[in-house]
Amino acid sequence: MKGKALILMILLLLLVNLKFLNAGSTNFVLVDAYWTIPLVAGADNTLIVKVEYKGSGTAEN
């Protein structure tokens, strides 16, 4: 049950963040986003997000 609630919360936060990101800069383009499958039972899943920088100059955090 905790796992489902966590995944639901992550998805909701992603939707909110995607709305925010769409309203902002267009320097980054989403290439791919996917979950990796853990190699052993009970290990954490990892969300991989690949973006491409399209802006001029250097990107900073």
Q: Whose CA is closest to 53, among 29, 33, 22, 17?
A: 29
| Distance of alpha carbon 45 from alpha carbon 61, whole angstroms | 25
Q: 10: which residues sit within 8 A by CB, 6+ positions away?
A: 47
List, for residues 3-60, the tens digit of each pLDDT value: 788 888 888 778 777 665 555 567 788 899 999 988 888 888 899 999 888 888 787 7
pLDDT at 50: 92
pTM: predicted TM-score of the whole model, two decimal places: 0.48
Amino acid code (one letter) for 42: G
Place of tokens 């491409």: 52
Instruction: Quickly list H helices, the chain.
Output: 2-23
Q: Whose CA is closest to 55, among 25, 31, 32?
A: 25
